[in-house]
Amino acid sequence: MSEIVYIDGEFLPKDQAKISVFDHGVLYGDGVFEGIRYYQRNIFRLEEHIERLLSSAKYILLDVPWSAKEIADAVVETCRRNKQDDGYLRLCITRGQGTLGLNPYLCPKPTMFIIATKIQLYPAEYYEKGLPIITAATRRYHAGALSPRVKSLNYLNNIMAKLEAVHSGTLEAIMLDDQGFIVECTGDNVFAVKKGVLYTPPTYQGALRGITRDAVIEIAGRLGITVKEERLTLYEAYDADEFFLTGTAAEIVPVIEIDKRKIGNHEPGPITREIRGHFHELTTVDGVRF
């Protein structure tokens, strides 16, 4: 069955789902988005995703005419029409059609579209055996240029770092800020484990406040694991007992090697495995069912 895509109130077959080439989301990456997972007909933390989407839109002065409930209803209906128990959603709001100039006020109304499909960032074997990664030369853009809390459609900075990873024979890369501190990977938050304590870069430094990141911090708290939001250098990464990545699409993936340095015992560690198990239990009960 063809995938059904929502665009501005219409549900269309995948091959009929189109937006204008004059949409500023296409021309300039002017818009915001969320990646959302659903598990066993449960849309994981939908309210939190929509809240973050609207906050991103507010930051870039994108006037969203739909309420949070209207957006949620559209997401739920898109899931229903696609008739899949598990999948991945891409929810986007663009500035809409305008002129070839930059002026966003010449775009009379935004465009919203929702895609429900499947995604797998990494082969299954890496979740069991661990992922080798590198550090990209491409730096994460400065937090003073654009807040890292904004999930904008412009991901070229991340794509350039991803290209470095692929060209080096790996699938992921750590991105540093202008001072050499670890921020995140190309599409994931990062966590390091040292002597039973969980460390993750603070969001004010340039890391996205990830939905999965928040879930991991909550799970760690329930398990009695101390979590510290601190600036991390590559020294702390190389010296970690365990290291893992988190993200909606990636979920939780262990890292066993960074820049040819073996992490811990060169296999997924016990804290990573425990948190991952609890996370998968959470995904089917925390959210909105359809």
* Region for 130 from its dihedrals, namely left if φ exceeds 0, alpha if ψ lies in -120 to 50, beta otherwise: left
Phi, then psi, of 160 in degrees rounded to 5: -65, -40
- 207: which residues sit within 8 A by CB, 6+ positions away? 148, 183, 184, 189, 190, 200, 201, 213
Residues 182, 205: contact at Cβ < 8 Å?
no
User: Chain centroid to CA 73: how far?
Assistant: 22
Phi, then psi, of 216 in degrees rounded to 5: -65, -40
CA angle 203, 209, 213 (to 5 degrees): 110
| Separation between Cα atoms, residue 56 and residue 58, nearest integer Å | 5
* Known catalytic membership, residue 151: yes
* Residue ranges of E strands in the chain: 4-7, 10-13, 31-39, 42-44, 87-94, 111-117, 131-135, 173-176, 182-185, 189-194, 197-200, 227-229, 242-247, 251-258, 261-262, 287-289
Number of helical H runs and strand E runs in the chain: 8, 16
- Give the DSSP letter of residue 152: B
Please pick, among 129, 151, 195, 260, the residue that the annotation labels catalytic: 151
Residues 6, 114: contact at Cβ < 8 Å?
yes
| Separation between Cα atoms, residue 110 and residue 60, nearest integer Å | 13
Phi, then psi, of 287 in degrees rounded to 5: 155, -155
Show which residues are catalytic.
151
